[in-house]
Amino acid sequence: MLEDKNPQLTPISAYGEFGLIKHLTENFSFENPSTKISIGDDAAVIDPNGQQVVLTTDVLAEGVHFNLGYVPLKHLGYKAVVVNLSDIAAMDAIPTQILVSLAISNRFPVEALEEIYAGIALACKHYKVDLVGGDTTSSTSGLVMSITAVGLENAENIVKRSGAKANDLLVVTGDLGGAYMGLQILEREHSVFLADPNMQPEMEGYDYILERQLKPEARTDIKKTLKELDIKPTSMIDVSDGLSSEILHLSDQSKVGFHLYEEKIPMDSLTISTAEELNLNPVMCALSGGEDYELLFTIAPEDFDKIKNHPDFTIVGHAVDLEQGNFLVARGSNELIPLNAQGWDAFLNK
């Protein structure tokens, strides 16, 4: 049987707003006992059972945060959830529910939204969170997604940005800079395609950094690891806007400075080689690139032995008194280079 290369697509008007929401969400199931009432009522009901409720929201706008010229819709749905769950993980809380709101232009058929929600469903299943509500409306300027995430945790376990003390160790999970390098490859190949649609994209060999950009993961696993190591971070933040910016956020909230050691910044070999291929400084990609969604946190000096050889963590620096400032300690020379917030800013990076 021949595949129909021009399938009939369904206009959103065939469902209407409420019919569309029902269609897109009818196959979602629930994982959390705290979910009491979800989609179908005027509001969701969550019973935290004595725990603290942690809330975060994030907006992704077409042309600002993503380019549908190279971002698959299913990946976009997945990533939109991850971006928010990463913020919950950065509070050392457990993500439990999400709400999804979309503003959609008339160029998107129902099938396109089904792809987005397929990605959302995958993320919900992977992270065991429940979709409990949201909204849809029309847009005159492409696709806009807004996701709100809910997390729960006992008050004594929540970690803020404001608890770091001088001499605390600065630790990061995973590796950095890969998502930014993946974006550079996607942008390069998209430009080539626009110039000549007959050109085949050269993506082979870049799998790791492309996945870091298109399908990142929230480090919700770190909570369990830290508990097993008997470590309670003194402060924490997720690396969404670049390592430099996040360190400055911790500095501002904790009223301490930080010394970051260039030679300690963890980077994958593919990130380094791709940066060099594109004549970029790999360290600057880690400092300012963003979208890695790793966790950056501080621990008390006495916890050093618990974490020093763990494969998930790298000690990259330490906290100092606020008046000593925030500096990158250069490899080899030990020159102190001021840290600047040059990471992602939605109002500047257009």
**C-alpha dist (Å) from residue 104 to 25, 83, 196, 325:** 17, 20, 29, 45
Looking at the domain assignment, is residue 162 inside a domain? no
**Residue at token pair 């909230």:** 253
Q: Specify binding-site residues.
A: 42, 56-58, 65, 87, 117, 134-135, 161, 238, 240-241, 291, 344
Pairing of strands 336-338, 313-321: unpaired
- Both structure tokens of 295: 């966790």
* Domain residue limits at 246: 169-338
Q: Specify binding-site residues for ATP.
A: 117, 134-135, 161, 240
92 and 176 both lie in a single domain: no
10-residue mean pLDDT series, the chain (350 residues): 66 82 85 86 85 94 92 97 97 97 92 96 98 92 94 95 97 98 95 84 92 97 98 97 96 98 98 97 95 98 96 98 97 92 52
pLDDT at 6: 63
Looking at the domain assignment, is residue 350 inside a domain? no
- CA proximity to 239, closest of 92, 97, 90, 136: 90
Looking at the domain assignment, is residue 288 inside a domain? yes
**Residue at token pair 């501080």:** 298
195 and 296 both lie in a single domain: yes
CATH number of domain containing 314 = 3.90.650.10
- Both structure tokens of 261: 């050691």
Instruction: Answer yes or no: pTM beyond 0.85.
Output: yes
Kind and range of the H or E run holding 208: helix 207-214
Asked if 329 contacts 260 with a C-beta cutoff of 8 angstroms, the reply is yes
256 and 326 both lie in a single domain: yes
Query: Rounded distance, CA 55 to CA 85, Å?
Result: 10
pLDDT at 5: 61
Instruction: Give one DSSP letter per residue of 14-39, joined into a string.
Output: GTHHHHHHHHHHTT-----TTEEE-B
Query: Rounded distance, CA 160 to CA 284, Å?
Result: 27
Looking at the domain assignment, is residue 1 inside a domain? no
Task: Name the 3-class secondary structure at 102.
Answer: strand
CATH number of domain containing 127 = 3.30.1330.10
Looking at the domain assignment, is residue 76 inside a domain? yes
Q: Specify binding-site residues for substrate.
A: 65, 291, 344
- CA proximity to 117, closest of 20, 43, 214: 20
pLDDT at 346: 46
What total of structural domains would you count in the chain?
2
How many Cβ atoms from other residues are within 10 Å of residue 130's Cβ?
Answer: 22
pLDDT at 3: 52
88 and 146 both lie in a single domain: yes
Q: Specify binding-site residues for Mg(2+).
A: 42, 56-58, 87, 135, 238, 241
